[in-house]
Amino acid sequence: MGLDKIWVFGETNGDAVASITLEMLAAARDLADTVEVFMAGDGDDFAEELGEHGAETVYSTGDLDGGLQGVAVAAAVAAAVDDGDGPDAFLLGTTQDGRDVAGRLSVKLDSPVITNVVALEADGDELIGSEPVFGGTTDVRTKNTSGKAGIFLVRPKSFEAEGVGGAEADTEDLEVPDLGAVGGAKVTNSYVEESDGPKLDEANIVVSGGRGLGEADAFTMVDDLAKTVGGAAGASRAIVDAGWVPYSMQVGQTGKVVKPTVYIAAGISGATQHLVGMKGSKNIVAINKDPEAPIFAVADLGVVGDVHKVMPALIDALKAR
Amino acid sequence: MKVVVCVKQIPDPADPGALDPETKTLKRDSKLILDESDSYGVEMALQLVDAAGEGEVHLVSMAPNNEVAGLRTALAMGAASATVVSDDALQGSDALGTAKVLAAAIARQEPDLVLAATESSDGYTGTVPEQVAALMDLPSVTFAKSVAIENGTAKVQRQTEAGYDDVECPLPALVSVTAGVVEPRYPSFKGIMAAKSKPVDELDLAGLGVDASQVGWAGAGQEIVSIAEAPAREAGEVIEDEGDAYERIVAFLDDLKVL
């Protein structure tokens, strides 16, 4: 054990703790004697699940009344650190709110954020984070040398979540100080864009489409194949930016990280930004008309061909079974 | 309405350079260009000023050697003026050090709205916008997929893990925008010609009033301890479709027993 205490940023999906939080708890347990969670919302609702995964205490802010998490959680944590309650390191997921909290906290504590972390190790009482760069061809290991608690943004699916049968976590209030104008952003409405079937980042099979589909309507092939094999449909950034499908379907650096048993890439060239989101898949099938497409360098089975011919034939063959 | 857009000038992604194992910084030998991620913020700013009927767009960039090649592209799109901060002491700056420089340069402009990309295409730490907002004591909305200004309030659709939120935020504020928030225009010939004479304010750290101990190697609170080649994923078999490739895919899936 290197560190005395690590704080993990807790995020939730409805009634359940988000997978990224449980993944970081698993990592933190191996690195520190004490692991605690800090989060927005009501920690009492999640104390049992978080305790099961090794958290001893859950610090929570209570309802933020529509306020965004970044400003409020960072201000509350900074106040707790001032009171001497802080940890030796913070782990946050590479999510929208995780990045907001990390950025705000970094300024509050004048401590750097070490980003895109996929592996962690203790070096004395300090953490070193590993980050893949240049599309995963190079690993860079970075150490916090600020003398303050380091802040690490961890990529989803970097660690395996695993319950350890821990007792329900204690709960403590994390008081948010008066934020004034800086807390002015308020959520007025929330919309969910997830489709039926298994979740993209949990599905056993993911079928993703890219620019090579040619037009938005052709994405129905991707949907159809995903449904046929009981999987989830995903997309490259190019077609999300083009407005063909919602962002919630995006796989890649700025979207979701997926590690399914099988990833089928249809009409995706394999830009770095996409590869980092799916390269960890156990098996990769790629269909693309360009034999030079980078996706073929990571595919276990690559088909150089027209997605408009291969996909319908594949769907028909599978449906006929 | 005054909008400041944070702009990063990066090596051409087609020729990304490499990490220098000696200095552990990114080698930037090739010419710098406007980060494509920032073209969305520039376009959004131009459209918001247009919609407001008054105001202007100012660019802020930190770059080596007063580099302006990328800034000229954004000026050609229609931005009015720019600030570029260069100083030898900035080499080795981490995201927080960079944010300190940008925040100081932006504050001089007294903007109503600050726009930035959610992350750069080359470093993608994705923390600089929120750090800038924190340093300037501004409220912020990140990951915007649409932005409108009504009665001094930014109305933003903010991407979430599951979909998106409507968020309202009084100005002044910082908003980080995703690619796809708007379609960036191509600079016109007239725009390119006009950009050559638009004012670019060149500042060093002293001019900016930022202490050199806060930035660069001196201020960076993190240190790269190793750079190593990652184990490569091995490429498998690549076949040419002759009408029956789908059968190979079916067989591949059957072998994995996932169906």
Collect all residues of chain A within an 8 Å Cβ-Cβ radius of residue B36.
none
A309/B243 CB distance under 8 A: yes
Q: Return d(Cα B117, Cα B132) in angstroms, integer.
A: 12
pLDDT tens, chain A, 321 aa long: 589 999 999 999 889 999 999 999 999 999 999 999 999 999 999 999 999 999 999 999 999 999 999 999 999 999 999 888 889 999 999 999 999 999 999 999 999 999 999 999 999 889 999 998 776 778 899 999 999 999 999 999 899 999 999 999 999 999 999 999 999 999 999 998 867 788 898 899 999 999 999 999 999 999 999 999 999 999 999 999 888 998 889 999 888 999 999 999 999 999 888 998 998 899 999 999 999 999 999 999 999 999 999 999 999 999 998
Q: Does A194 touch chain B (CB under 8 A)?
A: yes
Nearest residue of B to residue A144 by CA position?
B222
Q: Considering only the beta carbons, identify the residue of A148, A296, A306 that sits closest to B235.
A: A296
Q: Is A306 on the interface with B (CB under 8 A)?
A: yes
Complex confidence, ipTM: 0.91
Chain B residues with CB inside 8 Å of A104's CB?
A: 130-131, 133-134
DSSP-derived secondary structure for A125-145: TEEEEEEEETTTTEEEEEEE-
d(CA A97, CA B96): 18
Q: Report the distance separating Cα B141 and Cα B46, nearest Å.
A: 19
Interface with B, mutate which of A11, A275, A301 (most B CBs under 10 A): A301
Token digits for B230? 């990652």
Site of tokens 């670019």: B200
Residues from chain B that touch A184, judged by Cβ atoms under 8 A, are 139, 169-170, 173
Question: Across the interface, which of A103, A153, A301 has its CB nearest the CB of B134?
Answer: A103
Edge-first strand listing for the sheet containing B222-229: A119-123, A126-133, A138-144, B222-229
Nearest to B134 among A107, A137, A285 (CB): A107
Q: How many angstroms away from the CA of A72 is the closest CA of chain B? A: 11
**Quick check: A280 and A262 in contact, CB under 8 A?**
no
Q: Which residues of B touch A153 (CB under 8 A)?
A: 126-127
Mention every residue, 6+ apart, whose C-beta is less than 8 A from residue B227: A138, A139, A140, A141, B19, B21, B24
Beta-carbon separation of B142 and A100 below 8 A: yes
Phi, psi of B28 (to 5 degrees): -120, 70
Chain A residues touching B238 at Cβ < 8 A: 291, 296, 299, 302-304
Residue B197, min C-alpha distance to chain A (Å) = 33
Beta-carbon separation of A182 and B137 below 8 A: yes
3-state secondary structure string across A54-82: CCCEEEECECCCCECHHHHHHHHHHHHHH
Judged by phi (left if over 0) then psi (alpha if -120 to 50, else beta), residue A51 lies in alpha
Chain A residues within an 8 Å CB radius of B168: 185-186, 188
Nearest to A146 among B16, B95, B221 (CB): B221
Position B43: which residue type?
E
In chain B, which residues have their Cβ closer than 8 Å to the Cβ of A100? 130, 140, 142
Closest CA to A115 of A94, A88, A96, A87: A94
Q: Say whether residue A16 is in contact with chain B using an 8 A CB cutoff.
A: no
What is the per-residue pLDDT across B133-179, written as a single tens digit (0 to 9) for each? 999 999 999 999 999 999 999 999 999 888 899 999 999 999 999 98
In chain A, positions 129-188, which contact chain B (CB-CB < 8 Å)? 132-134, 136-148, 150, 153, 181-188
Find, among B22, B23, B215, the residue nearest to B103 by Cα.
Answer: B215
All structural domains of chain A: 3-184 (3.40.50.620), 200-320 (3.40.50.1220)
**How far is B199 from chain A, CA to nearest CA, in Å?**
31
Q: Do B222 and A110 touch (CB under 8 A)?
A: no
Q: Whole-model pTM?
A: 0.90
| Amino acid making up residue A184 | G
Spans of chain B, pLDDT less than 70: 14-17, 26-30
CB A237 to CB B179 under 8 A?
A: yes
Chain A neighbors of B19, CB-CB under 8 A: 133, 138, 140
The answer to whether the CB atoms of A96 and B158 lie below 8 A apart is yes
pLDDT at B13: 73
> How many angstroms separate the Cα of B237 from the Cα of each of A270, A300, B8?
16, 6, 40
Structure tokens at B175: 């908003």
